[in-house]
């Protein structure tokens, strides 16, 4: 497998260094803790929003640092939780008088790192709260989690609490908003191919040419089952149906719909899937209020996609529509 890699152990630091060098006016890189933070953070007038998780899911989370989103992100190595001290030091560096909200995708390693860091930060007198995100409907438990996994739906939690933080909401209010968004967000993914971590140099798992992994995790964890490669409509139904049934979503609901690429799927195919999902949801009487198509939470170079639905109300929709300026310059 061909990759742009020097020393695999330096893959993440070199990626983060490049990210900061490309965006010097908006982002600061603290190499000791793999930390990417806003140039203007922390601010006394707002709660700081921090997320960690492993690397390999870009643009999550280091590329979603900016106004109206995250104030900082401290990733671990590829598909590995950040060390506890990375999270602890990040919380201290981003400590605001208003407090720090830690967002955590529900994986065992991430929970341990963030819970321990939160306890240390609180012992130092910092105002810290932790919110766990668990939107994946594919499996109840996996090798990496107790309970559901946190996947692409984390974007909606980041966006809502980031917007509310800019408006001056306090730490308790942000926790309420984040929990509310998480409670109405559901996701399921599907892989066409495995992914290849830089340190491994070979595919993480085997998937025959005529098979797909239904309910795959963003670290390549097994899903619900293997299925046959079918048409776009057939494969979309494999992830749409479980998501709709889980909450459940029903006729009359207004939703945000996301089709998220897992890293190796052309944008043209993602828009094809979006169009089919839009039609199938409309046929059920579900109204699409907001639309998201692209790569939000990837799995390195995995070909595949995930579908996320969020049941929105006036509060959630207003926060999702609020302006945001991520620190990564695209145009």
User: Which two three-digit tokens encode residue 165?
Assistant: 């933080």
Q: Is the dihedral of CA 227, 136, 37, 115 positive or negative?
A: negative
**pLDDT tens figures, 290-329:** 999 999 999 999 999 999 999 999 999 999 999 999 888 7
Name residue, tokens 């930060």.
121
The per-residue pLDDT for range 23-62, each reduced to its tens digit, is: 999 999 999 999 999 999 999 999 999 998 999 999 999 9
Among residues of the chain, what percentage have pLDDT more than 70?
98
Q: What is the pTM (predicted TM-score) of this model?
A: 0.95
pLDDT in the model for residue 68? 97
Name the superfamily (CATH) of residues 185-313.
Dihydroxyacetone kinase; domain 2 (3.30.1180.20)
* Average pLDDT along the chain: 95
Judge whether 36 and 19 are in contact, CB under 8 Å: yes
The tokens 């145009």 sit on which residue? Answer: 331
pLDDT digits (tens, 9 = 90+) for 257-297: 999 999 999 999 999 999 999 999 999 999 999 999 999 99
Distances (CA, A) of 296 to 59, 62, 99, 210, 307: 6, 11, 27, 27, 11
Quick one: the chain helix, strand, coil %, rounded to 5? 35, 25, 40
List the alpha helices (DSSP H) in 145-231: 154-166, 171-183
Query: Active-site residue among 67, 186, 219, 276?
Result: 219
| Catalytically annotated residue among 57, 67, 186, 276 | 57
Q: Rounded mean pLDDT of 179-202?
A: 95
Domain ranges in the chain? 8-183, 185-313
> Pick from 233, 241, 281: which is nearest to 257 by CA?
281
The CA dihedral of 32, 72, 137, 218, to the nearest 10 degrees, is -40
Q: What is the Cα Rg of the chain in Å?
A: 19
Residue 61 designated active-site: no
Third-level CATH fold of 8-183: Rossmann fold (3.40.50)
Does 278 participate in catalysis according to the annotation?
A: no
Instruction: Report the 10 Å Cβ neighbour count for 95.
Output: 18
Instruction: Please determine whether the domains at 8-183 and 185-313 fall in the same fold group of CATH.
Output: no
pLDDT confidence of residue 202: 86
């Amino acid at each position: 497998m061909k990759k742009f890699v020097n020393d695999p152990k330096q893959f993440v630091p070199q990626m983060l260094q490049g990210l900061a060098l490309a965006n010097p006016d908006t982002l600061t890189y603290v190499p000791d803790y793999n930390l990417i933070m806003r140039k203007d953070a922390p601010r006394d007038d707002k709660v700081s929003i921090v997320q960690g998780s492993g690397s390999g899911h870009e643009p999550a989370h280091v590329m979603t640092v900016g106004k109206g989103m995250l104030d900082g992100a401290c990733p671990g190595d590829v598909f590995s939780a950040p060390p506890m001290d990375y999270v602890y030091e990040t919380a201290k560096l981003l400590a605001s008088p208003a407090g720090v909200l830690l967002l955590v995708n529900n994986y065992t390693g991430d929970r341990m790192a963030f819970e321990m860091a939160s306890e240390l930060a609180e012992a130092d007198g910092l105002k810290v709260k932790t919110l766990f995100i668990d939107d994946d409907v594919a499996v109840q438990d996996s090798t990496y989690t107790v309970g559901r996994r946190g996947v692409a739906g984390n974007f909606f939690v980041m966006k809502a609490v980031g917007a509310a933080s800019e408006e001056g909401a306090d730490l308790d209010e942000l926790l309420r908003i984040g929990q509310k968004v998480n409670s109405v967000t559901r996701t399921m993914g599907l892989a066409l191919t495995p992914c290849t971590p830089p340190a491994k140099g070979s595919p993480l798992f085997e998937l025959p040419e005529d098979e797909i992994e239904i309910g795959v995790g963003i670290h390549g964890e097994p899903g619900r089952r293997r299925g046959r490669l079918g048409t776009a409509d057939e494969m979309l139904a494999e992830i749409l149906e479980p998501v709709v049934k889980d909450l459940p979503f029903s006729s009359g609901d207004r939703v945000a719909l996301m089709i998220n690429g897992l890293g190796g799927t052309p944008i043209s195919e993602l828009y094809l899937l979006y169009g089919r999902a839009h039609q199938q949801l409309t046929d059920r009487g579900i109204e699409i209020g907001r639309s998201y198509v692209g790569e939000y939470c990837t799995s390195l170079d995995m070909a595949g996609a995930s579908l996320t639905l969020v049941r929105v109300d006036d509060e959630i929709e207003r926060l999702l529509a609020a302006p945001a300026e991520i620190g990564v310059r695209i145009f």
